[in-house]
Amino acid sequence: MLDIFGKNQGCGFDTGCQFKTTLDNSNLGPKARELNFKCLVDSFHGHAHRRLCQLSHLTTYQRGLGLEDLGVCERAFSRSNPNGGVTRHMSVFHRKQAIVQYFQYTDNMDTYHNLSKSIYTMTCLMPCRSPPLATLLLNKYNQALRILEDSPAILARIMVDMDIPNVEVFEHWLDEEREYLQGLKTEPVVETLHMEYYQKLVNYHASM
């Protein structure tokens, strides 16, 4: 991937933060750093990671990533879940055979069809004559157009309401949060006292 796609790549993994450490310590580490390769965590798993990890690896904060949430595998697995009830009592061979046949059918009759239909619709610029089939590329294309058209005005209005002078403030906030979390070695004393007091109340009521 580094040789073929070059600089400024980003790839999502369930544990992209841990994979980054593995990659940095491997023989590919120097080349990955030179080409600014980013190990990210997809949106589906990212919100279960620590906040400090999210600031560095969550798709939400990656400039240039656009609408991509890196959750293609999760959506594929979700659609294939009904196979579980059908294949659970099969032999190992027939279970594998059924799963392979499902994905082959999905690729040939569903995914490829939707992909080609989306390209046809966008190329011919005839949305009124396109079939009522919801297709991935067309939906993302239309969604991107709506965001590009509506978001600047919405963001500007919110920034005025919240007295935010410019968009650079958002980057500054993220840097401040990252600095705070990196310096947070122990729980704040106030929070610790609150939790200790609450636990004593729980113990007191339990002993009554």
Q: pTM of the prediction? A: 0.59
C-alpha angle 109/127/125, rounded to 5°? 100
Two tokens at 200? Answer: 């004593």
Contact 41, 58 (CB under 8 A): yes
Q: What confidence score (pLDDT) does residue 152 get?
A: 86
Angstrom distance (rounded) from CA 108 to CA 18:
35
Question: Residue 182 CA to chain centroid, in angstroms?
Answer: 23
* Local structure of 13: helix, strand or coil: strand
Contacts of 126 (CB under 8 A, 6+ apart): none
Give the confidence band of 199 by pLDDT, cuts at 50, 70, 90.
very high
The Cα-based distances of 146 to 96, 152, 204 in angstroms read 42, 11, 57
The Cα-based distances of 174 to 126, 153, 167 in angstroms read 43, 23, 12
State the CB neighbour count (10 A cutoff) for residue 135: 20
Residue 24 has pLDDT above 80, yes or no: yes
Model confidence pLDDT, tens digit, residues 108-144: 877 766 665 544 444 444 444 444 445 667 777 888 8
Angstrom distance (rounded) from CA 5 to CA 161:
42
Angstrom distance (rounded) from CA 80 to CA 206:
47
Q: What confidence score (pLDDT) does residue 120 get?
A: 45
Left (φ > 0), alpha (ψ -120 to 50) or beta: where does 21 sit?
A: alpha
State the CB neighbour count (10 A cutoff) for residue 122: 16
Angstrom distance (rounded) from CA 110 to CA 204:
61
Model confidence pLDDT, tens digit, residues 42-96: 888 888 888 888 988 888 888 888 777 888 788 888 888 888 888 989 999 999 9
DSSP 8-class letter at 132: S
